[in-house]
Amino acid sequence: MAAKPQVRNAPDAGPAPEDREKHPVDETLPPLKMLTSGLQHVAAMYAGVVAPPLIVGAAVGLSGTELTFLTGASLFTAGLATFLQTLGIWKIGAKLPFVNGVTFAGVAPMLAIVDTTENKADALPVIFGAIIVAGLLGFAAAPFFSRLVRFFPPVVTGSVITLIGVSLLPVAFGWAQGPNPKAQDYGSTTYLSLAGITLVVVLLLRRFTRGFLKQVAVLVGLVLGTLIAIPFGVTDFSPVQEADIVGFPTPFHFGAPQFALAAIISMCVVMLVSMTESTADMLALGEIVERPADEKTIAAGLRADTLGSALSPLFNGFMCSAFAQNIGLVAMTRIRSRFVVAAGGGFLVLMGLSPVAASLISVVPRPVLGGAGVVLFGSVAASGIQTLVKAGLEKDNNVLIVAVSLAVGIIPITKPDFYHAFPETAQIILDSGISTGCVAAVLLNVVFNHLGRGRDADEVTAPMEPGEEISGSASAKAAHVH
């Protein structure tokens, strides 16, 4: 067993005397340090929390006031899920410095549900019903899933995370063109210029700043982009003027949940993806904070994710999962206290209870969101590519898994009407590239890497020429490269 790490007290704000024998994860820092560090976690993930409700809400056709309500509900439920994960109750919660929020993995399937729902007013209730079922099933499966991680190696998770980012990029491009696809100025140089300026601002901040400012580059980019857009007359402040200072996300505000089989199956696939991501995040964070995540910790963390997801629709929120960007923040700051992240969860709850705070994001013009979205969603895809780097792509089997699963997942993006001949219920699942790509990756991984494991895969060190086989001369070529 590794020796217990020594707790190093910062000269300006060390742990309280009674905490000096505790693991750094269980430390309580001085109030000011706790609050400012918690706020930094919120700033790092704020854009990621509000993006999914903005995307889904716009697809449903919500008004500015309703969009503000949906955004506030997502902030509120993200805070509750963060409390579950960091503080924990019974066997629920990893008790690690995890920030939970709306998972990007569910956006594409939810858009597919919206597109195939005849009455758009029923879209959100159908989505919420599917999330409740998926969350409860995930909660029951948590202790068993922690033993099935071997079926979700980096070649699977990397492919899925890459697909998540690629599937969301078209949304950012649509935002960049303007708020109304039917308007004459849709895609005008003004809108595209605002998107480009915002993108440049975010990139400059990421390149030339450090610390806190670098972490909140996307948030600062949204603010500056909005200010720059004011002279062009595309900034609408009416959502802030109409919002109340204090409000509560009324349960089932958009209607009682509806339970459609196809939507439930689609969100169950997303739940598997989310649980896989959370497991990988827990393993990574455990190493960073020097408290390795064992099977018991993973099961408890998955229970928090899935229970938080099942409860979110009660307050009009979406499926929740751990936010990987905050893991990077823990690694960078070396502040490992889970109570700091719990303080961040408190800020999220307070913001969710203040419609004025939630409405601020509604002020941001769509082109500005589009410019920031390129970085935000592109970073998700890049994260998937980083995972694929660890997937052993020198093995031909893994190359085929990635190639086919990405191809299957990209079909709905490049050919939206590809499955038009299928029944409407099947289209809800098939039109989600994330769902189909995930299923393809898992099945291919089982076939190539688990069945008949006695036959080792041939190695590939360079792309194949058309028609070239992985044998004979090709193998010799590979050997020559080495």
Say how many CA atoms lie within 13 Å of 343 toward its Cβ: 22
Measured from the Cβ of residue 12, the count of other Cβ atoms closer than 10 Å reads 8
Q: Work out the angle at residue 21's Cα, subtended by the Cα atoms of residues 18 and 24, and round it to the nearest 5 degrees.
A: 100
* Per-residue pLDDT at 479: 37
For 186-250, give the secondary structure using H, E and C. Answer: CCCHHHHHHHHHHHHHHHHHHHHCCHHHHHCHHHHHHHHHHHHHHHHCCCCCHHHHHCCCCCCCC
Report pLDDT for 457.
47
Give the length of the chain: 482
CA distance 300 to 107: 25
Within 10 Å of residue 179's Cβ, how many Cβ atoms?
Answer: 17
- Cα dihedral across residues 214, 220, 222, 228: positive or negative: negative
| Per-domain residue ranges of the chain | 18-391
Going residue by residue through the chain (482 aa), what tens digit of pLDDT does each one get?
Answer: 444 444 444 444 455 554 457 788 888 888 887 887 787 777 667 767 888 898 899 889 888 788 888 988 999 999 999 999 999 888 898 898 888 888 877 888 898 899 888 888 889 999 999 999 999 999 999 988 877 767 778 888 788 878 878 887 888 898 899 888 888 888 899 999 999 999 999 899 888 988 767 767 777 888 899 899 999 888 878 777 777 788 788 899 999 999 999 899 989 988 987 887 788 778 777 777 878 778 888 899 999 999 999 999 999 999 988 876 677 667 666 778 899 899 989 989 988 898 887 677 667 888 988 888 888 778 778 878 888 888 888 888 899 999 999 999 999 888 888 988 887 767 767 777 777 888 899 899 999 988 866 454 455 444 444 444 433 333 333 333 33
Terminal-to-terminal C-alpha distance of the chain: 39
Among 5, 68, 81, 88, CA closest to 244: 68
Q: How far is CA 455 from CA 11, 464, 468, 473, in A?
A: 57, 21, 20, 20
pLDDT at 324: 66
HSE-up of residue 418 (Cα within 13 Å, Cβ side): 16
Task: Give the separation between CA 219 and CA 448, rounded to whole angstroms.
Answer: 43
Q: Are 378 and 56 in contact (CB under 8 A)?
A: no
DSSP state of 416: T
Q: Are 152 and 450 in contact (CB under 8 A)?
A: no
Put residue 102 in one of left, alpha, beta given phi > 0 → left and psi -120 to 50 → alpha.
beta
Q: What global pTM score does this model have?
A: 0.68
